[in-house]
Amino acid sequence: MKIFRNLLNSVKPHFEEGGKLQKLYPAYDAFETFLFVPDHTTKSGSHIRDSIDLKRSMMTVIIALLPALFFGMWNIGNIYYTAMGEEVEFFTKFNYGALKMLPLILVSYIVGLTVEFAFAIYRGHQVNEGYLVTGLLIPMIMPISIPLWMLAVSVIFAVVIGKEVFGGTGMNILNPALTARAFAFFAYPAHLSGDKIWISEQQTMPDGISGSTPLADYASGDLTYDSSMFMDYFNGSMIGSCSETSTFAILIGAAMLIITGIGSWRTILSVFVGGYFMGYLFNLWGANEFMNLPPHVHLVLGGFAFGAVFMATDPVTASSTNKGKIIVGFLIGVFAVLIRVFNPAYPEGMMLAILLMNVFAPLVDHYIIEANIKRRLKRAKA
Amino acid sequence: MSDKKEALFSKKNLKLIKDPLDDNNPITVQVLGICSALAITVQLKPAVVMALSTFFVMCTANVVVSLMRNMIPSRIRIIIQLVVIATLVILVDQTLKAFVYDVSKELSVFVGLIITNCIIMGRLEAFALANKPWKSFMDGFGNSLGYALPLIVVAFFRELLGAGTLFGYPVIEKLGLYELGYENNGMMILPPMALVTCGVYIWIQRMRNKKLIEEN
């Protein structure tokens, strides 16, 4: 670490006031605070001081994402070699997936951080770490075969229109990672849905290999559920976006988030409860095969668990009151299953459900706060 | 009668044309006529036809109402303005149907809805009722240009990025970008991107023109 400190100290004068590169100070500041705990002190007003700042909490989320990421890498290799009909070792699969994931992650970070740095320097504010998590989330929720330039365009759209126009990290209405996915989904539908995109290099494979996700199969009625499939879904060895498949790996991440207090257990739990509730209602209705899918299966399919743990809990876009978290989370679960079952064009409803509830979260908060004020006024008068 | 001495293209009159282009743009600053701006900007051709139709209606209506301004009883002025606009819009609609039927079909109800375009009514109310014909003409001229400018810019980007064509000419294909793996952005054809593109237009406009930025 000493080398970094010395290096930073030697270039610092250039970036401070009067220095040659004064304009680039935000970029310098970003590197310094990324490597070391900042020595800034609060100048005015009263603040709660805590050793955990934005950078530390973002790092926790990244660590919580790792199980799902590593599992996703293995799974990419697994479905590839299974489709090819080859038996290979664990690490061959993992390495294959890792090599496929790496370009996506690199493109996402390089493009996204370039945009963030450009805005920070132009506006003269600090580079925020929000993108560290977003940049990892985006490749994790994309299909592995997405062309890199499409990923780059989606990232630029998400950072500029999803975040920077509202004022940067902490001001956005919509979750940036999901904004990127929604943009790609509507802009390049052929690359984001269907049964030719989930296995890497499927174009070079012989025809007749089915590459559709279980959800799409249920929606089209090609697949009938039996209870032996549940553990496969839970473990995550199925077809889907890079890292969304394993509910088990995601729950490890969820445990980390809840224990460190960074992710809200209220949101996570109520999303699952909402999804279960809606799945149960459909069971009672039971008009077609898909509606008869047991409710707990909905929770382990597609991006439901991933969205619940890592997207719905985004502190910026989620509701900020405790009651609001429960209401918004519940509705996310309800809408996700609703969209899945009712709209065959969108076999996965989690993305749209979370984005929709992101928009309504401030409204829910508003009424909860108003109600609270009213209740306390009443109490004061009595 | 002092107005008579004023030159036809005096500074004050030219300002009537220049203002709506930037400082007081009907779409991006006053945020009027947004619905049509979002609906017909998928391609350049309908956007240009729409701009021309609005241009004709706005200039003529402004002059006509200005000529009648001393005769119109103020209590029924809105009705009279509507009759003037409606007559002109029907003229335009019939002309389009006769000569460019396919474009007319594409614009469908939006030509008829020029009647409800708040920009036209707004200019009649705010300007033509109180000014002489020549000035009213200049005002209508300026405002319809101000309406046309964002419309055409937005349509340009939406058609180019969404369909890869300009006025139906396959630009992207001729450039050979498809062979490099480029694909059209399906989102640009959807209405939400019209809103986003308009937003980006306003963003760039406000970056260049500091007068538009509010105090707080």
Distance from CA of B185 to the nearest CA of A (A): 5
Q: Distance between CA B213 and CA B216 in Å, rounded?
A: 9
The lowest-confidence range among A104-113, A270-279, B63-72, B114-123 is B114-123
Model confidence at A265: pLDDT above 70: yes
A165:B187 CB<8 A: no
For residues A237-242, average pLDDT: 80
Using CA atoms, how far residue B82 sits from A25, A304, B88, B90, B120, in Å, is 59, 54, 10, 12, 10
B169 bridge partner residues: B166
Q: CB neighbours of A376 closer than 8 A, spacing ≥ 6?
A: none
> A254-263, A334-343, A366-375 — which one is most confidently predicted on average?
A366-375
Distance from CA of B187 to the nearest CA of A (A): 4
Q: Which residue of B has its CA nearest to A186?
A: B187
Distance from CA of A231 to the nearest CA of B (A): 38
B177 contacts chain A (CB < 8 A): no
B196:A187 CB<8 A: no
Nearest to A308 by CA among A347, A256, A259, A254: A254
Size of interface A-B (CB pairs under 8 A): 24
Segment A59-91, tens digit of pLDDT: 888 899 999 999 988 888 888 888 887 888 888
pLDDT mean across residues, chain B: 84
B67 contacts chain A (CB < 8 A): no
A188 contacts chain B (CB < 8 A): yes
* Nearest residue, CB atoms, B186 vs list A153, A165, A188: A188
Are B81 and B61 a contacting pair, CB within 8 Å? Answer: yes
A186:B188 CB<8 A: no
For residues A149-167, average pLDDT: 89
Tell how many helices (H) and how many strands (E) occur in chain A.
Answer: 16, 0
Nearest to A257 by CA among A335, A303, A312, A301: A312
Tokens of B82: 């509507």
Distance from CA of A186 to the nearest CA of B (A): 5
Are A303 and A240 a contacting pair, CB within 8 Å? Answer: yes
ipTM: 0.81
Model confidence at A262: pLDDT above 50: yes
* Nearest residue, CB atoms, B186 vs list A149, A161, A187: A187
What pLDDT is stored for residue B2 in this prediction?
47
Are B191 and B38 a contacting pair, CB within 8 Å? Answer: yes
Segment B44-64, tens digit of pLDDT: 888 888 888 888 998 999 999
B190 contacts chain A (CB < 8 A): yes
Q: CB neighbours of B174 closer than 8 A, spacing ≥ 6?
A: none
The owner of tokens 């309406």 is B147
Tokens of B155: 């349509």
A149 contacts chain B (CB < 8 A): yes
Residue that wins the pLDDT comparison between A208 and A75: A75
Model confidence at B1: pLDDT above 60: no
Q: Which residue of A has its CA nearest to B197?
A: A161
The lowest-confidence range among A138-147, A342-351, B85-94 is A342-351
A122 contacts chain B (CB < 8 A): no
Look up residue A43 and give its amino acid.
K
* Nearest residue, CB atoms, B186 vs list A161, A165, A186: A186
Are A60 and A260 a contacting pair, CB within 8 Å? Answer: yes
A187:B203 CB<8 A: no
Segment A165-202, tens digit of pLDDT: 888 777 888 999 999 999 998 888 888 877 777 777 66
Q: Distance between CA B19 and CA A57 in Å, rounded?
A: 50
B186 contacts chain A (CB < 8 A): yes
Q: Distance between CA A118 and CA A24 in Å, rounded?
A: 10
